Amino acid sequence: MSTTYFGVDVSDIEDRWRALGVEEAAVAAILLQDADTKLNNARPMLSAAIALPSTDPKYVDPRLPTMTVVDMVWRVLINPDMFRTTSVGADGAVGAGYFSSEILRARLALAAGDLDEIDRALRRSGQGYSVSMGRRMLNVDYGKRTTNPSTLPLP
């Protein structure tokens, strides 16, 4: 079993949704590790922020990455084929479906809303991490501002 950054496990999904069968739980465990790694790769400072004492001003509530990782996996579990729509015949048979646009990007994706919420929490704790393109001004880590894109830190 690989190391996880946020300590999310199958019981976190079951607590928020329903009990999983043995096979479903095994798939969920692998997906949780993958989602955990994707979130840590997208926001590496988050694992340090949740490890701080809750009295520290840079602390971020550990429920935030737990909810994010669980939501990533839940989206796959409820719709493993990533269909946007399907048709059901009179006999109950499922017909053709159309793939969701998300499948073109990634099966286990971080939703923009999830990242926005994490970025808000990190900015409140003084560890901001977002690059927002707009009106000739770029917002960069730790609230620094620049009008020169060549000075942005590399990801």
d(CA 153, CA 71): 29
Give the separation between CA 30 and CA 36, rounded to whole angstroms.
10
Q: What is the four-CA torsion angle of 141, 131, 50, 116, rounded to 10 degrees?
A: 150
Q: Which two tokens stand for residue 32?
A: 């949780």
Report the pLDDT averaged over residues 29-36: 94
Q: Which two tokens mark 106?
A: 């990634």
pTM: 0.69
Mean pLDDT value across the chain:
78
pLDDT tens digit sequence for 86-106? 667 677 766 666 655 555 456
Which of the four pLDDT bands, split at 50, 70 and 90, describes residue 109? confident
For residue range 1-11, list pLDDT tens digits in order: 456 789 999 99
What are the DSSP E strand ranges found in 18-121? Answer: 83-88, 94-99
- 99 and 83 in contact (C-beta within 8 Å)? yes
Q: Which is it for strands 132-134 and 137-139: parallel, antiparallel or unpaired?
A: antiparallel
- Of 5-14, 83-92, 102-111, 143-152, which gets the smallest average pLDDT? 143-152
Q: Mean pLDDT across the stretch 100-127? A: 76
Query: Which of 69-73, 86-90, 146-150 has the highest average model confidence (pLDDT)?
Result: 69-73
How many angstroms separate the CA atoms of 100 and 44, rounded? Answer: 28
